Structures are given as C-alpha cells and as structure tokens.
Amino acid sequence: MKKILPKALKNILVLAGITFAVTASILFSLFTTNLLEDLTKQHLEKDTQTIEAHLNDRLQNLRSSLDRIKKSEELNAIVKAQEIDKIREFFEKTTRKEGFELGLMTDNNGIVIFRAENKNVIGDYVYNNNPWGRAVIKGQEITTIEKSGLMPLISVAGSPLLDEDGNFMAGIFIGEKVDKDLTLELKHLETRNNIEVAFYTKEEGIFASSFENQDDENNIKRFFNEGSEWIKNGRGSEDIEKIRIINSQYHHIKNIVFEGLEHSPGGMLVFHRSFNQQGIILYLSGFITLTLIAYFSFLLIIKKRTERIIYLLVVWLIFDLISVQTSSKIKSLQPVNPDYDSSIVYNSTAKLEPETGVFKKNTEHEVKIIINTAGEKINAANFNIKYNPEIVAVSEINIGNSICSKEGFVEKIIDQTEGLVKIGCVIFKESFNGSRGEIAGFKLRTLREGDYVLRFEEDSNVFASDGLGTEVLRSTRGGSYQVIDQKSKKQGFPEILIFSDSHQNQTRWYNDKKVRITWIPVEDEYNQYQWLINKNADTIKNWENSEKTKNNEIETSNLEDGENYFHIIGEKNGVLGPESKLKIRIDTTPPEPVKLKITNRDVKVGDLIRVSFTGSDITSGVQSFYAKINNRNYFPVESTFFIPFTAPGKYYLSIRVFDQADNYRDTEIEINVSGRNILERLLNLSGEKMILLGRILGIK
C-alpha cells in the first residue's frame, strides 16, 4: 500500500502538471494574440494619422498656392476688365510654372473659360456639375477632396474673385488627381510593407488602390463594391475591423470617410496586413512556455530522465493537437468575406462620363465611354451612341487612353446626319478585367440651345475573353445635357436653369427618394420663385397650389416612384416668367418575384432539367436576369434554359432579376440529385459541370 500511494500520487501530480502547463500555454497564447491585435491596431491608427496628415498638407499647399495666385494685381486687373484671352494666357502660364495637374477658371457666370489639363474643353457650367463650383460661385473659399465630372475624385482648392462691391467676377481653381499614383505615394510614407491604400466613391466603389498585383486589386474592388456597407454606409469609420479578403489573409481596415461640401463623395480605406508570423509566434511562445513549465514540473516529480522525456513528448503531442484544433476552430468561426456577396454578377456595365452637364453654346466638351467588367475578362467591345445632330456635333474620337489596342480599332465612325457614333475595338495583348476602363472619348460641339441625350443603342456589346465570344454587357447608362445661350430670353425674361445634384441624369432611374434641386438665381430679373412637383410633363397653367421661395434650392424626400416633374417659374412684381422643368425618375421597389418553373426537383444523376421563368417590374422595367447554382457566380440567362447534373447532392438554384434602377430580387429553389454512375465512383469525382446557355460552371 505504501508503494502504490506514492506512485498514484506521482501520476496525479504529473497530470496536474500537464493540465497546468497546457492551461498556462493557452492563456499565454491568448494574451499574445490580444497583444499582437492591439499592436496592429495601434500601428494602423498611427499609419492612418500619418496618411491623413499628408493629405491635409497637400490640400494646404494647394490653398497657399491659390492664395498667392489670386493676390496677383495683373490677374485681378484683367479679370475686372473681362479680358478673356489675357485671363487664359495668364492662367496657362501660371499653372505650367507651378506644375499644377489641374487648373480651371470660370467667368462671372460660372462658365469655364480655361482648363489646364485640356485647353479645348471649355464652356461647361461648374455650378451644375460640381459641389465645389456651386460653393465658389456663392462666394465661398474651399479646400477639399470632391468628385469631378471627368474624374471620380480630385483634391481641389477654389476661390471667388470679387470686385470692390463684393460682386462675383470669376472663379479660380487648382487641383491634383486622386489616382493610383497618389495611393502609392501614401503607401510608401511608411517603412513597413504591410500598408495598402484605396480610394472609393459611393457611385463606383474602389477606383484606385496601391495593390500592385492585378488579381489582388480586382478582388479588393469586387469586395468593396458600390453596394457594400463599407462604401454605402461608412462601415469601419468608427472602429478598426479585421476581415479576411485576399488569399484568405487577414487585414485590419480603417475607413476614412471624406466629409464633402454637400455630402460625402467617398473616402479612403487603409489596410494593414496582420502579422504573417503571428501563428508561428503564438506556437513558439506556447511551445516554449509549455516545455519549461512541464520540464521543471517533471523534474520535481519524476527522477528518471527517460520517463521525463516520455512525459514531455506526450505533453508536446497534446499541445500540437490543441494547436491544430484551436487554429481550425478559430478559422471556422472567423467569417470569410463577411461583407462580400460571393454572388456578385460577373458582367460588364458601361456608362458615359460625365453623364450630365450644362454647356455654353458654340463650345466643345468631351464625353468618355467607361466600362466596369466586374472582374470578368473581356477582349472586345462595340458601342453605338445616338445623339441629336441639331443640338450638338461630334468632331473627334479620342483613343489615346483606351484599354483597347490602338491597332485594334475596327470601327470609328461619326455619322452627323444620323446623329450616331460607332466605336468597335479589340484588346490584342492582354484581356481586361478592371473596374474602370476607358474605351474612347469623343468631343462634341454645341450648336444651339436645348436639352439633348446621349443614348447607347441596343446593339452595343462587350465580349468575354472565353474563346466563345460571349456577350456580357449587362447594362448601359447614357447621359442628359443642356446647352444654354446666355443672351436668349423668353417672354422678355431669362429661362431658369435647374440642376439636381442627387438626380443629375434625367434619363436615368434612381433608387433614392431624397432629392436635392438647385437653380441659378437671377436676382436682377426675379425677386421670388414658384415651384411644384407633380407627375405631369405638361406646362403648368394654374400656379395657385405652388410653393414660393426666395432661395435657389429645395430638398425633399416625399416623391413617389415613377416619373416626377419639377416645375419652376420666376416672379417679379406679380409678373411671371417662362416655366422651366426637370424630370426625376425614381424606382425604389424591387422587381416582382420571378415565377419559376422546373421539370423536376428530385432527379437522378445524368438527368436534364428544364428551367423556365418570367419576371416583371411595374416602374422602371426589367433590366436583366441571372442564374447561379449554390455559391457560385451569377451568369446571364434567358427565360428558358437546361441544366444537366452529373453528381449527386443538394443544389440551390437562384434566379436574380434586376430592374433599371439596379434594385433586384432573388428567387431560390432546392434541387435534390441522387445516385452516381460507375465512372464517378471509380474516379471519386467530387465536382460537376453545369452548362448554362453555353457557359460552363464548376460546381463543388
């Protein structure tokens, strides 16, 4: 009994030592993990502060330069005399000398008379096109990062030039591009290599980043798309968040939302890669801690060296098992792409940039065709764009910045008689799968006043680089524009120019009911305005139910879905001027649920099922239909298609329908496939190939 008790006690003490060692190791690992997390967040906060300070320094340098320019006696003298040619000459010389990337000057009406980056593009009304233009024409000094008609974001400083009586004589602006070069500059402010920077707008999502690997950049752009919470609602601006996005690598992310002059135009995401050696550090720290505790515990209990080594090996084995299981458990609990819709539609969209604007008669402006591939590789495109040849004339097609090969343009046609531009091109060297690519730009000369639209024709298309020439253009967005003649009057009064910063394009459907409308005040002609909003495009005959205001802007959230019309007239001493109106198209309601039919929901391996469906949208109309199986990507489908199944399992077929305002609705059904053929059993195949209108999807 005396011999048994010490041995039993020894075993108990050994187990207690092992338990204590394992517990201490786990606690130490958790402590180390939290410590590394805190260090990473501290690094990111410091890096973010450094980057923000650098951006602010750049803005202040712009402001200092502009303050110096606007104090020039020569500039003020020629502006006061309205010597346009001398103003252009002075500003061109100044911007070239100072090395500004962007420079712009307006006349006393807010119309551009000089643009440094493109001297031939003048005559646009910055009051309509940009928040910074509206601020300066009201007499405000601005220094900010804002959106621009021809670029997603710019750093800009602007000032009004006023006469002795405080009257607006001109607007002067200088700026810098917010692009990939800037992200690389910000990235290299830090000596560590684990910082990345990306800029985004709410309309496009990420448009520029410091990720140098193209696949990584495309993944980031798909992840932080314009529909994500990060872009739409500023997620990550209050607290640093940790997510896994690129090659399952963890990143800590800080969202810097730019305030903007009227509302936020977008922001900047700062990424800090988590320590790559974190797992090794945790393992080694735990391993060393465990070994020391276990060894000294066994040294007191176990006298024989052989037994100590055996027990130590057992402890190491237990530690390894716990480490592997804990690591697997943590990974399974950590959501992969928690904000990422793995069902992003992989199809291209095309738009015009700018998509709206007001231009002076007899001036030139440029419009670009911009494509977003949503990550799908393309190698060819053709676009046919219709315009009104009585109001504008297309003078030139510019392919200098095109993603297409210069020798790959098979069509560059301007048909002024029909009012049609035809552009077709091929990408020879490498396919393109970016989120922002310019196909071509074209210059338009305004001929007479009036409204005009640029519309993509239905035979426009984009082709996938899949060897099949699959058509992958999901949607297009044209533009609406105004041409003004400052000397023109109706009924003896000037017509009021109306703009909507929130709903700029009269041809586009918006899924936002919050509408902001502004107009150019005509203080010498009108002392107040009357306005109303209805569903009628006809001229208003009775203004008794109208609202009256002396301001030049309104904001409302009470508009119904459908086409709404804002009507306004000016009034002076009881005399009413001519009516102006603006069309606003709103659709906030998803399409009707798809009516989906399949031949059978319970099938055998090798069976072919027929899928058919119908869908509708009562307001803006249906844009397109897409289908996916399980968690794969959506692909375009027609109203009837067939699916062959070659592997058993439970599958979920989802049909997504988009309307013209980009609202969508999903309809899903479950399909059970049973049985497996002999060949699959022998080869132990675990995948399936599904043919969907010529597209082959791998189903796991």
Which of 324-338, 434-448, 596-610 is least confident? 324-338
Whether 179 shows a pLDDT value over 70: the answer reads yes
Confidence label for 192 from pLDDT (cuts 50, 70 and 90)? low
Tell me the DSSP string of 46-68. Answer: HHHHHHHHHHHHHHHHHHHHHHH
Res 280: pLDDT? 54
Contacts 24+ apart (CB under 8 A), 548-554: 552/518, 552/519, 552/520, 552/521, 553/516, 553/517, 553/518, 553/519, 554/516, 554/517
Whether 204 shows a pLDDT value over 60: the answer reads yes
For the packed helices 305-333 and 278-301, what is the interaxial angle rounded to 10 degrees? Answer: 150
What is the arithmetic mean of pLDDT over 351-360?
Answer: 88
What is the arithmetic mean of pLDDT over 501-520?
Answer: 88
User: What is the rounded (10 degree) CA torsion for 79, 81, 87, 93?
Assistant: -90
Whether 118 shows a pLDDT value over 60: the answer reads yes
- Measured distance CA(358)–CA(124) in Å, rounded: 6
Contacts with 493 (C-beta within 8 Å, 6 or more apart), sequence order: 525, 526, 570, 572, 577, 578
Q: By percentage, how much of the chain surpasses pLDDT 70?
A: 79
Nearest to 456 by CA among 422, 409, 505, 493: 422
Confidence label for 519 from pLDDT (cuts 50, 70 and 90)? confident
- Measured distance CA(647)–CA(598) in Å, rounded: 18
- How is residue 323 annotated by DSSP? H
Whether 308 shows a pLDDT value over 70: the answer reads no
User: φ, ψ for residue 54 (rounded to 5)?
Assistant: -65, -40
- Measured distance CA(554)–CA(537) in Å, rounded: 20
What separation in angstroms does the CA of 92 have from each of 108, 178, 570?
19, 22, 39
Reported as half-sphere exposure (CB side, CA atoms, 13 A), residue 95 has a value of: 23
Which of 467-471, 482-486, 677-681 is least confident? 677-681
What is the arithmetic mean of pLDDT over 319-327?
Answer: 55
Res 691: pLDDT? 41
Whether 169 shows a pLDDT value over 60: the answer reads yes
3-state secondary structure 165-234: CCCEEEEEEEEEECCHHHHHHHHCCCCCCCEEEEEEECCCEEEEECCCCHHHHHHHHHHCCCCCHHHHHC
Instruction: Please check whether residue 512 is in contact with residue 203, taking contact to mean a CB–CB distance below 8 angstroms.
Output: no
Whether 387 shows a pLDDT value over 90: the answer reads yes
Instruction: Please check whether residue 527 is in contact with residue 507, taking contact to mean a CB–CB distance below 8 angstroms.
Output: no
Res 117: pLDDT? 79
Res 285: pLDDT? 56
pTM score > 0.85 for this model?
no
Instruction: Please check whether residue 349 is in contact with residue 437, taking contact to mean a CB–CB distance below 8 angstroms.
Output: no
Identity at 137, one-letter amino acid code? I
Res 286: pLDDT? 59
Confidence label for 11 from pLDDT (cuts 50, 70 and 90)? low
Strand partners, 463: 380, 471
Res 101: pLDDT? 84
Q: Among 440-444, 467-471, 689-693, which range has the highest average pLDDT?
A: 440-444
Q: By percentage, how much of the chain surpasses pLDDT 90?
A: 32
Tell me the DSSP string of 228-266. Answer: SHHHHH-TTSSS-EEEEEETTEEEEEEEEE---SSS--E
24 vs 217, higher pLDDT: 217
Considering only CA atoms, give the Rg of the chain.
32
Residue reference for tokens 């906030």 = 588
- Measured distance CA(609)–CA(359) in Å, rounded: 56
487: exposed, middle or buried (Cβ count in 10 Å: 0-12, 13-18, 19+): exposed
33 vs 391, higher pLDDT: 391
Res 109: pLDDT? 80
Contacts with 32 (C-beta within 8 Å, 6 or more apart), sequence order: 281, 282, 285, 286
Whether 699 shows a pLDDT value over 50: the answer reads no
Identity at 437, one-letter amino acid code? G
Whether 334 shows a pLDDT value over 60: the answer reads no
For the record, the structure tokens of 588 come out as 């906030």
The rounded mean pLDDT for the chain is: 81
Which of 84-98, 116-130, 359-373, 541-555 is least confident? 116-130
412 vs 234, higher pLDDT: 412
Res 338: pLDDT? 36
Res 648: pLDDT? 86
For the packed helices 84-98 and 4-70, what is the interaxial angle rounded to 10 degrees? Answer: 140
Helix (H) or strand (E) holding 31: helix 4-70
Res 331: pLDDT? 45
Q: Among 59-68, 110-119, 487-496, which range has the highest average pLDDT?
A: 59-68
SS3 content of the chain, % helix, strand, coil (to 5): 25, 40, 35
Whether 330 shows a pLDDT value over 70: the answer reads no
For the packed helices 180-187 and 4-70, what is the interaxial angle rounded to 10 degrees? Answer: 130
Contacts with 376 (C-beta within 8 Å, 6 or more apart), sequence order: 346, 347, 348, 433, 464, 472
Res 695: pLDDT? 41
Tell me the DSSP string of 70-114. Answer: HT-HHHHHHHHTT-HHHHHHHHHHHHHHHT-SEEEEE-TTSBEEE
Whether 76 shows a pLDDT value over 60: the answer reads yes
Give CA 140 to chain center in angstroms. Answer: 29
- Measured distance CA(680)–CA(513) in Å, rounded: 54
- Measured distance CA(459)–CA(420) in Å, rounded: 13
Instruction: Please check whether residue 235 is in contact with residue 249, taking contact to mean a CB–CB distance below 8 angstroms.
Output: no
- Measured distance CA(13)–CA(302) in Å, rounded: 10
- Measured distance CA(282)–CA(25) in Å, rounded: 10
Tell me the DSSP string of 543-581. Answer: -TT-EEESSSEEEES-PPSEEEEEEEEEEETTEE---EE
Whether 54 shows a pLDDT value over 50: the answer reads yes
What domains are there in the chain, each with its CATH number? 66-177 (3.30.450.20), 180-273 (3.30.450), 345-487 (2.60.40.680), 489-588 (2.60.40.10), 595-699 (2.60.40.10)
Contacts with 151 (C-beta within 8 Å, 6 or more apart), sequence order: 177, 178, 179
Instruction: Please check whether residue 443 is in contact with residue 120, taking contact to mean a CB–CB distance below 8 angstroms.
Output: yes
524: exposed, middle or buried (Cβ count in 10 Å: 0-12, 13-18, 19+): exposed
290 vs 441, higher pLDDT: 441
Which of 25-39, 187-201, 607-621 is least confident? 25-39
Whether 208 shows a pLDDT value over 50: the answer reads yes
- 632-670 residue pLDDT tens: 767 778 888 888 887 888 999 999 898 999 898 999 999
Which of 248-257, 363-372, 380-389, 549-558 is least confident? 248-257
Res 313: pLDDT? 66
Identity at 113, one-letter amino acid code? I
Confidence label for 684 from pLDDT (cuts 50, 70 and 90)? very low
- 237-279 residue pLDDT tens: 777 877 766 555 778 889 999 998 888 899 999 998 775 445 5
What is the arithmetic mean of pLDDT over 336-347?
Answer: 49
Nearest to 56 by CA among 157, 158, 184, 194: 157
Instruction: Please check whether residue 643 is in contact with residue 608, taking contact to mean a CB–CB distance below 8 angstroms.
Output: yes
